[in-house]
Every structure is written in structure tokens, then in C-alpha cells.
């Protein structure tokens, strides 16, 4: 047997027929005796792992199906070579190529066909399937998986590795069948899982089964498992290890988890994943599952035991084998200390979705992407789509600068402005001394909605989208992880465009996207965030951010702190630039009020931040208090 080899692709069977002319004559190529079609039908059937519909002598289609069942999930191509005829029989060389765990197994066999008055019949021989295979033998495929690769963070810190766990459940071999239901219910109550469902599973499994109720980290088990668990009849605890992050919460929505492959995952794997395999179930563990699993050591053997027969220590001979290929760790840019800090800050945000994202402007590296417990498993930090509110005014300011405006230009901050019959106001606590004729700098610093909307005739939707792209907001980037970098669609009317200017309308962004805006202001160029080492999107804005534009935007964001809505950060060192934001969303309540998203973005040294609270009264209040903590 040979391992990998290469063969030219097969010619179409019509062309192959022409090659047979010297042997078969013209009658064969016209299909008069049916041999060409019989061979074509045979190779097509073999590629479908079946001999259904093929005339067979000496066996039946079921015997063949049983023989190749261990390879059922693998793709195979079978090419017929030059046919030799002799007195109503034909010998057909067959070239087999199996794809097994992304490796190639190639070999040759021979098919014998005989002709009667009605058709060509295949003479059954197990050696048709694999060279040298004999009656009474079967094929077995064994695999030994390498250890799953770790996931590392910045500076090589281990984020995900094998860590100890305890499997709590019922060992049915320890008790009588009459005790199963009662013990299962007690165990379920003791470890706080659904008792009815666990009892049903326990009763359905075999008499010697260990029925797992839950898998816990040792520290979690101390807090969760009731005293007296060990006294329950049949209750067992099995020590094991699993691929886990440092804590249960650590970047869970980003990293994902590892567990036994589901039926859906197996079905979609094209044979590379089988029942019982440990795979990534979601997040990066799923996205990079193949790379993290490595390639198993695989052996295909002929075993001296017929399919379906129980044999004790049968003789084996190797048909082919491959060694395991270890996987390399997945390297991420997350800073464990910063990620932990962000998650601890969000720990009390249980009533609403929340997120903190931190990006390093000089590199684009995502240093933290934390989701609060109120997200209920949703990755709002990088994949959420929300109206960014007044944090988007950094983008609007850039569009106005490109239209000829300057920070010292006078603008009018009215109490309200009406566009096509729709009235826009400032936020409820807008400072009274910042109304009237003020500078553009003051309008940004205090977040005056009406001033920016009043300047809308200086720009259009295309200019706004262009400015957004210059600051890293783009829907086209594939970052190698679930990410949404924003949308700034062409407005469908004047009212929508007015709303777009203040981060409402159909403008959407994730916390990752708004952290990217802040990072781009610091970097002086459109930052493309990256999280996975070696996976970086190549995105170039049509209009690059200029040095002068970036410097002006940094000044405007600093004014928000020194003279505006983020004055509570004025004493923070090193100095901070920021922008507050509040965005209305959803349907009005019984008082006609809308819910609001609370946002803040900030820059400090070589870090850029975005803080988001889905249901927050104001950016400065709900998001600002969280930002203040993480800035220290």
C-alpha cells in the first residue's frame, strides 16, 4: 500500500470511451454491448460507497456496504483504467483515492466482470475494495487525537489550557435499578440541574452507565454542590481535565468553549469529526477548531474478523497509516490583566447588556473585549450593532473639517431644530450656558445636537460615510473573529441624515467599532483592529486621515474633558481625550420616552477605549463611571 500520491484528474467517460477503441472496437464505443456503461455505473456507485443497482455475483450490495462502512464518512474517487476483454469477460483496473482526515490514501484494485445475455455482472471479491482484502476480513479505522492546542494571549500568557474539572453524576453500576430514579433526582437537586430531565436520561441509559449531570471547576463545585452529595446512593465524582480559560467568565463570549461534538457539527464536518470527538462549540474555539485540534494519528487495518462478528484478539495487518500532527497554539492579542479588570468592572451590570473594548492604536491589537453578565452570552463587545449616539460626533466633526470648518467657527446651538417636520433637541441635562452662538469646539465638547444638525448643508451622506471609513468604520473587514465595524448607509431623507449626524438614524456600530474610532484619532490613521495573530484585514479608506485632521480631532476630544461633558476625567493622569454619547432606541414607553444606550470613548497614551451600556441614562453617567474605573 502507498500513502499520498498524485494522479491527473480522470477524463470524462465519453473521452475515455475513445481510448478503448483499439481493444473494444467500434461496437463497444457505440455502447452495443454495454460494457462502457457498466464500468461507468460501477465507478459512480463505488464513489457513493454502494453497489446498489449493480449486478453482482457471489455477494450482494449489503456485504459491500458493511465492508466500507468504517470509511462511510470519507470521500473517495474511483477511476477505471484500460479494460481488457476475453471471451465474454472483462478485467477493469481501478485506481482508488480516499480523503482520510485531510490525507490521501491511494491504491489500485481490479474488478472482474462477466457478460450474459442481459448485462455485465460484477464478480464479487473483497480485494475489489482494498488490495489483498480476503473473505472473513473487515476494515477498521482507528484514530488517536493529539492534545488540543492552547490559546495564548499577549506576551505568550496562557489563556486556555487543560485545567482540572470534576464530573458529577450517577454511576448506575453502584445501585439497583429500582434506586435509579430516586438517586438521579437527589443528585440533580444537589448540583442544581433540571431533575426531571436528568432522571429521564438516567433511566434511559444502560445498567452500568455513568450518567453525567454537570461538569464543574473545583472552585465552582465548592460553592454549588450541596453538602451530603457523597451520601447519595450511586453519586460519583470523576476527576478529569478540560480546555478552559483561567475563570469561567474570562472572555467566554470571545473564546467560546470546548465540548463533545453535536450531531449538527458532525454532519457538517464532511467526515472529519465523529461522535465523541471534543471540538470547539462556539467562539474562537469553533472558528479555529481544525487548527486547534491538530490531525490525529490514523491507521487503517485489515482485521481477520468479518463485519458484524465479535472476535477475540483477531489478527491485524496494516493497510496504511499516518502519524499525528500536533497543533500550534492560537496566539491572541488579549492582555489577561486588562481583560480581567474590564470584566470585574462590568460584573455588576446584570440588568443590561454592557461591554468594554480596549485597542492599542499603535498596533491595532485588541487588548480587551469584555462582555457584562447582562449580555446573557451575547458577544456585544465585538459583534453588537447599536446606535452610537454622540460618540459618532467625532466622525461628523471630521466630515465638517473636510468641508472647510474649523474648531473656532461659530455655530448655533438652539434648544431645538426642526428638519422636515421632525424636531430634534439636546439631551435633557445640556448646560444652559452652552446654548446660542458657540464655537464648533464647544459644540463637540458639550455635545450639542442642534448645532451639528444645523450644519448639515455643508456635507452629505457620502462625505459622512467617507469620514467614518477614515476613522476605521467599515463593513467590509473580515477580522477572523465575530466583529462588526459599523455601517453608515446613504440616508433616505433629510430627517434620517440629520439623525445620522448625531449617531442615530441607521448608523450602527459595535463597542469594537467605536474603540477603533478613538484608536484611529490617536494613531493618525485608520486603525484596523486585530485579535488573532497573523490574521489582519487589509482595509484602506478611500480618503486617509491626515496628520492635521488627526491633531484637530485629538484637540476636540481633549476639550470634551477640559471644558465639556467628560469634565469628571479632567484630573486623570496621563491626560485623557474622550467623547460621551447617548442614543435613543426602541419604542416609546407609556410616557412617550425612549430607552437609551450609554456610550463613552476615550484615548489615553497608547490605549483607546469604548464603554457601552445598553440601557443607561447617559453616557457620562452610566458609561462614564465605568470608564473612570478602568482608567484608574
Is the pLDDT at 18 greater than 60? The verdict is no
Q: Residue range 615-632: average pLDDT?
A: 91
Three-state SS string over 449-488 comes to HHHHHHCHHHCCHHHHHHHHHHCCCCCCCCCCCCCCCCEC
3-state secondary structure 125-152: CHHHCCCCCCCCCEEEEEEECCCCCCEE
Give 57-99 pLDDT, tens digit per residue.
988 888 899 999 999 888 999 999 999 998 889 999 999 999 9
Set of cell numbers at residue 194: 433540571
Per the CB < 8 A criterion, the answer to whether 253 and 510 are in contact is: no
pLDDT of residue 1 exceeding 80? no
Q: pLDDT (tens digit, 9 = 90+) per residue, 318-354?
A: 999 999 999 999 999 999 999 999 999 999 988 899 9
- CB of 392 closer than 8 Å to CB of 503: yes
Report the pLDDT value the prediction gives residue 376, as an integer from 0 to 100: 93
- 43 grid coordinates: 465507478
Per 3-state DSSP, the chain is made up of helix, strand and coil in percentages (nearest 5) of 35, 25, 40
Dist. CA 336–CA 436, nearest whole Å: 47
3-class SS string, 310-377: CCCCCCEEEEEEECCECCCCEEECCCHHHHHHHHHHHCCCCCCCEEEEEEECCCCEEEEEEECHHHCC
Q: How do residues 275-320 score in pLDDT, each as one tens digit?
A: 888 899 999 999 999 999 999 999 999 999 988 888 889 999 999 9
Classify domain 336-631 at the CATH topology level: Beta-lactamase (3.40.710)
**Gap between the Cα atoms of 66 and 208, Å rounded:** 29
- Closest by CA to 511, choosing from 481, 484, 533, 478, is 484
CA of 515: how far to CAs of 25, 467, 495, 551, 574, in Å? 75, 16, 27, 18, 18
355 pLDDT above the threshold of 90: yes
Q: Are 198 and 213 in contact (CB under 8 A)?
A: yes
pLDDT number for residue 32: 56
Residue 541 has pLDDT above 80, yes or no: yes
User: Above 60 in pLDDT, residue 517?
Assistant: yes
Could you tell me which residues come within 8 angstroms of residue 530 by beta carbon, excluding any fewer than 6 positions away?
333, 364, 365, 366, 479, 480, 536, 537
CATH topology of domain 13-136: Nuclear Transport Factor 2; Chain: A, (3.10.450)
- Res 380: pLDDT: 97
The dihedral formed by the CA atoms of 255, 259, 260 and 264, expressed in degrees to the nearest 10: -40
User: What is the rounded CA–CA span in Å between residue 583 and residue 596?
Assistant: 5
Domain ranges of the chain: 13-136, 336-631
pLDDT value, residue 604: 98
pLDDT in tens, 429-453: 899 999 999 999 999 999 999 999 9
Encode pLDDT of 148-196 as tens digits.
999 999 989 999 999 999 999 999 999 999 999 999 999 999 999 999 9
* Full-model pTM: 0.83
* pLDDT above 80 (res 546): yes
Residue 9 has pLDDT above 90, yes or no: no
Q: Give tens-digit pLDDT for 230-248.
A: 999 999 999 999 999 999 8
Tell whether the model's pLDDT for residue 537 goes beyond 70. yes
CA Rg value for the chain: 34
The DSSP bridge partners found for residue 138 are 303
Residue 605 has pLDDT above 70, yes or no: yes
Residue 30 has pLDDT above 60, yes or no: no
Residues 532-559, mean pLDDT to the nearest whole number: 95
Q: Which residues pair with 611 in a beta bridge?
A: 356, 600
Closest by Cα among 299, 318, 271, 316 to 69: 271
Better-scored residue on pLDDT, 616 or 600: 600
Residue 52: pLDDT above 60? yes
Band the pLDDT of 476: cuts 50, 70, 90: confident
For the stretch 447-475, pLDDT in tens is: 999 999 999 999 999 999 999 999 999 87
> How far is Cα 101 from Cα 74, in angstroms, rounded to an integer?
8
pLDDT at 13: 36
Amino acid at each position: 500500500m502507498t500513502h499520498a500520491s498524485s494522479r491527473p484528474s480522470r477524463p470524462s467517460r465519453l473521452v475515455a470511451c475513445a481510448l478503448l477503441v483499439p481493444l473494444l472496437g467500434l461496437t463497444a464505443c457505440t455502447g452495443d454491448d454495454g460494457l462502457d456503461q457498466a464500468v461507468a455505473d460501477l465507478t459512480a456507485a463505488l464513489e457513493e460507497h454502494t453497489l446498489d443497482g449493480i449486478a453482482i455475483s457471489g455477494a450482494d450490495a449489503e456485504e459491500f456496504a458493511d465492508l466500507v462502512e468504517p470509511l462511510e464518512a470519507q470521500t473517495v474517487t474511483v477511476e477505471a483504467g484500460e479494460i481488457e476483454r476475453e471471451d465474454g469477460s472483462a478485467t477493469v483496473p481501478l485506481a482508488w483515492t480516499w480523503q482520510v482526515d485531510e490525507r490521501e490514501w491511494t491504491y489500485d484494485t481490479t474488478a472482474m466482470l462477466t457478460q450474459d445475455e442481459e448485462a455485465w455482472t460484477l464478480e464479487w471479491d473483497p480485494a475489489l475494495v482494498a488490495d489483498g482484502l480476503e473473505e472473513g476480513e473487515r476494515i477498521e479505522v482507528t484514530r488517536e487525537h493529539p492534545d488540543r492546542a492552547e490559546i495564548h494571549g499577549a506576551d505568550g500568557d496562557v489563556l486556555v489550557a487543560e485545567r482540572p474539572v470534576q464530573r458529577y453524576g450517577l454511576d448506575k453500576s453502584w445501585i439497583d435499578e429500582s434506586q435509579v430514579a430516586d438517586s438521579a433526582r437527589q443528585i440533580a437537586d444537589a448540583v442544581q440541574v433540571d431533575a426531571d430531565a436528568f432522571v429521564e436520561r438516567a433511566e434511559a441509559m444502560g445498567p452500568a452507565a455513568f450518567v453525567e449531570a454537570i461538569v464543574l471547576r473545583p472552585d465552582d463545585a465548592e460553592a454549588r454542590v450541596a453538602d451530603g452529595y457523597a451520601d447519595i446512593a450511586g453519586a460519583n465524582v470523576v476527576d478529569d481535565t478540560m480546555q478552559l480559560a483561567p475563570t469561567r467568565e474570562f472572555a467566554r463570549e470571545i473564546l467560546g468553549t470546548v465540548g463533545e461534538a453535536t450531531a449538527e457539527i458532525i454532519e457538517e464536518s464532511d467526515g472529519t469529526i465523529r461522535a465523541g470527538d471534543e471540538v470547539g462549540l462556539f467562539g474562537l474555539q469553533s472558528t479555529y477548531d481544525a487548527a486547534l485540534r491538530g490531525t490525529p494519528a490514523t491507521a487503517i487495518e485489515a482485521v481477520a474478523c468479518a463485519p458484524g462478528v465479535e472476535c477475540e484478539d483477531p489478527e491485524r495487518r496494516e493497510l496504511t497509516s499516518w502519524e499525528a500532527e500536533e497543533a500550534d497554539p492560537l496566539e491572541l492579542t488579549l492582555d489577561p490583566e486588562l481583560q480581567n479588570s474590564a470584566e470585574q468592572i462590568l460584573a455588576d451590570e446584570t440588568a443590561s447588556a454592557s461591554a468594554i473594548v480596549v485597542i492599542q492604536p499603535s498596533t491595532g491589537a485588541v487588548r480587551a473585549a469584555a462582555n457584562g453578565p447582562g449580555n446573557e452570552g451575547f458577544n456585544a463587545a465585538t459583534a453588537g450593532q447599536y446606535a452610537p449616539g454622540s460618540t459618532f460626533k467625532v466622525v461628523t466633526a471630521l466630515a465638517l473639517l473636510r468641508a472647510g470648518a474649523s474648531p473656532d467657527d461659530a455655530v448655533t446651538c438652539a434648544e431645538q431644530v426642526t428638519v422636515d417636520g421632525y424636531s430634534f433637541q439636546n439631551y435633557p441635562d445640556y448646560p444652559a450656558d452652552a446654548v446660542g452662538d458657540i464655537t464648533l469646539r464647544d459644540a463637540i465638547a458639550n455635545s450639542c445636537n442642534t448645532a451639528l444638525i444645523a450644519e448639515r448643508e455643508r456635507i452629505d451622506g457620502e462625505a459622512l460615510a467617507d469620514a467614518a471609513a477614515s476613522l476605521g468604520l467599515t463593513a467590509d473587514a473580515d477580522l477572523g473573529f465575530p466583529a462588526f465595524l459599523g455601517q453608515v448607509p446613504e440616508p433616505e431623507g433629510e430627517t434620517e441624515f440629520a439623525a445620522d449626524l448625531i449617531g442615530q438614524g441607521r448608523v450602527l456600530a459595535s463597542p469594537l467599532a467605536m474603540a477603533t474610532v478613538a484608536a484611529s484619532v490617536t494613531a493618525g490613521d485608520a486603525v484596523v483592529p486585530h485579535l488573532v495573530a497573523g490574521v489582519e484585514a487589509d482595509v484602506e479608506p478611500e480618503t486617509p486621515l491626515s496628520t492635521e485632521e488627526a491633531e484637530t480631532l485629538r484637540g476636540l476630544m481633549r476639550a470634551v474633558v477640559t471644558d465639556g461633558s467628560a469634565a469628571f476625567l479632567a484630573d486623570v493622569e496621563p491626560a485623557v481625550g474622550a467623547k460621551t454619547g447617548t442614543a435613543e432606541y426602541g419604542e416609546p414607553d407609556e410616557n412617550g420616552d425612549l430607552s437609551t444606550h450609554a456610550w463613552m470613548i476615550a484615548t489615553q497614551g497608547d490605549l483607546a477605549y469604548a464603554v457601552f451600556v445598553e440601557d443607561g441614562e447617559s453616557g457620562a453617567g452610566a458609561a462614564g463611571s465605568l470608564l473612570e474605573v478602568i482608567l484608574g
